[in-house]
Chain A
Amino acid sequence: MKVYRTTSIALRALRRNPMRATLTTLGIIIGIAAVIVMMEIGNGATAAVQKSIASMGSNMIMIQPGTAASGGVSFGAGSVVTLTPQDCDAVIQQCPDVHAAAPAVTARTQVVYGNKNWVPFFVVGSTPDYLKIRNWTELAQGNMFTDRDVRNANKVCVIGQTLARELFEGASPVGKEIRIKNVSFKVVGVLSLKGANMMGMDQDDIIVAPWTAIKYRVSGTSLGNVNQSSASSTSSTVNSLKNLYPSAQLSLYPTQSETQAADTPQPIRFANVDVILAMSDSTENIPAAVKQINTLLRERHHLRPEEPDDFSVRDMTEMIKTFTTATSLMTNLLLAVALISLIVGGVGIMNIMLVSVTERTREIGLRMSVGARARDILRQFLVEAVVLCLIGGALGITIGHGGAVLVRYFKHWPVQTSPAAIVAAVLVSVSVGIIFGFYPAWKASRLDPIEALRYE
């Protein structure tokens, strides 16, 4: 009741000078409108950037084998073979926050078609889920190979745009046979263009084939051969199909003697993979997924609590953080500019309220003489300022939102309505009203009624 009455008095007082009230509010209108536009465009930009990060596979989690050490010499991450395809299956089945997972083996070798040859940067053996995890499900031509191809170690592959260009020079690669390290693979699909990755590497310089085919027919061991002790045994025993064509390989290291091999037994599994790629449902679930994977793999690898992990789990948190920081920095910068204009608007309000207090000195004296207490006067002028700011805020929100809609319509920028910004705008305009209205109101309330009545 009391609030209603004070507000109606304030509105009546403002209506006495509508032009001035409008011009005063303009500062707040512009300020709030700027804040709203900035927030909506900023939010849109953040969402767009997040989407493009997601397309790089930001929800990706990489599980790599741990380090091998031989006689005090460590060989670095991935130099020991601890991850198996069974680990991957277990991760899919037992980690609720893992959306998909795919084992991957890598190789670096020559690819030949006709009289062309090329060494792709990535020769990846994996499952069809690999593309899902990489957020790369669109194919330019043909289809991805299937799970059945993986089971049968079929000699099929899909190739990236760079490789297609280098080997086929515009002709359709689908259905053609290419040779990877002298093993013939049929191209079943061409991946869509992806461009460079975070490190500037060409992601289209890739060939993806079933991991079984790459492992057993092409590479044998990839990283495993860094580990000298296991190199000879894996490559010679498992890879029986590799030597379809005689190709002499230079051995860089002296071969192990029988005694040496017996002295350093290396637990060789039937099959191991170089890396397991997993993906969580959303960016927020990554930490939970990482934790689940850690627990599961420690259990599967029979590690005692005091033993270090024989694998390492990595995610893209750092990358996401960088991008989020960059966009939020930009948004905050724009917001700061908008806030400055709000402060300017507030100073405008204070200025006009001071003028108004001087102009209405006699009115203040009169109100005091009919029984208004100092605090009634203070409240009246404060409410006037707040009402001005609130009206300005409401108009500013409308104009700002309209502006954002226009920007989306004409410039096709990504824009996102932000309820938080609207709430903040209302709160800010009220507090601007209180902060900048207080001094004039306080000044009015301190007037001496006798002098105020006599003021000319």
Chain B
Amino acid sequence: MPFLELRDIYKTYYLGDIDVPVLKGVSMSVSQGELVALMGASGSGKSTLMNILGCLDRPTSGQYLLEGQEISRLSPDQRAMLRNRRIGFVFQSFNLLPRTSALDNVAMPLSYNPEHLPERQAKQKAEEMLGLLGLSDRMSYEPSKLSGGQQQRVAIARALINKPALLLADEPTGNLDSHTSEEILRLFGQLNQTQHITIIIVTHDANIARHAKKIIHISDGVIDGEVKPESVSASPGDAK
């Protein structure tokens, strides 16, 4: 059984009288512990697909199975619970809470956890997670005092705090220089190797996609094909 499976997903936005079909029958599957890159030009529907994968959105039709569970018909509250327990998000613009310490930022998802860890334990857990990402000496810093790479690592720590099975990264290196991008991507590789977290990176950059074990191309709302990264020609001009 695949870890994640999409069957004939359609997503149509209704803007007044006009129907805008964004996804037109997407079917794909990702196995446990894979590092997948989701590639496509802007407007190809990859963001919409990621929202569906992240349980933020529901498909108009089709089936989405996460760990064998049918997701597309869950209630908003159930989906929120699923996002909290099973899915971690990493965003292009980090989305850290301003004027809040790195530690509190990382501990934030724990407050929506039904287990409700006591404050002290939650702090401890967040400290461990930041330590794992090499930010032990930056725990009390506010995001504005951290570099881009550090901010993104805080965001990754936040995504990992609830021990998710799936990590969704939406253009995680879009705001970073090439050196830090490399670092972050290596971090993803490590997490994938050591923690066996399934990671899906959404990107339009082929250089980034190269770090993945599998690349799924999407264009104009349909899956264009799955390829191994070796076959992708890396054009040096694309590198950021």
Contact = CB atoms under 8 A, between A and B. Distances in A.
A, B from the same assembly: yes
Interface of A: 1-2, 5, 8-9, 12, 16-17, 362-363, 365-376, 449-450, 453
A228 B108 CA distance: 98
Contacts of B158: 370
Interface of B: 51, 54, 56-57, 76-77, 80-85, 89, 91, 95, 97-100, 104, 108-109, 111-113, 116, 118-119, 158-159, 162
B86 to A, nearest CB: 9
B220 to A, nearest CB: 20
B80 A373 contact: yes
B51 A371 contact: no
Contact of A9 (B51, B57, B99, B111): B111
Contact of B111 (A5, A368, A375): A5
Contacts of A366: 91, 95, 97
A11 to B, nearest CB: 12
B80 A368 contact: yes
Given A365-B95, A368-B83, A372-B84, 7 more contacts: A9-B111, A370-B112, A370-B158, A370-B162, A371-B162, A373-B80, A374-B77
A287 to B, nearest CB: 58
A247 B116 CA distance: 103
Contacts of B76: 373-374
B80 A371 contact: yes
Contacts of A365: 95
Nearest to B51: A450
A369 B111 contact: no
A453 B91 contact: yes
B80 A372 contact: yes
Contacts of B98: 16
A8 B109 contact: no
B116 A5 contact: yes
12 contacts: A2-B116, A8-B119, A16-B99, A369-B56, A370-B108, A371-B81, A371-B162, A372-B80, A372-B84, A372-B112, A373-B77, A376-B112
Closest 5 CB pairs of A and B: A371-B84, A370-B109, A16-B99, A373-B80, A371-B112
Contacts of A368: 56, 80, 83
B99 A371 contact: no
Nearest to A9: B111
Nearest to B85: A371
A2 B118 CA distance: 10
B84 A449 contact: no
Nearest to B159: A370
B89 A369 contact: yes
A370 B54 CA distance: 10
A387 to B, nearest CB: 16
A370 B119 contact: no
Contact of A369 (B83, B97, B100, B113): B83
Contacts of B95: 362-363, 365-366, 453
Contacts of A449: 56
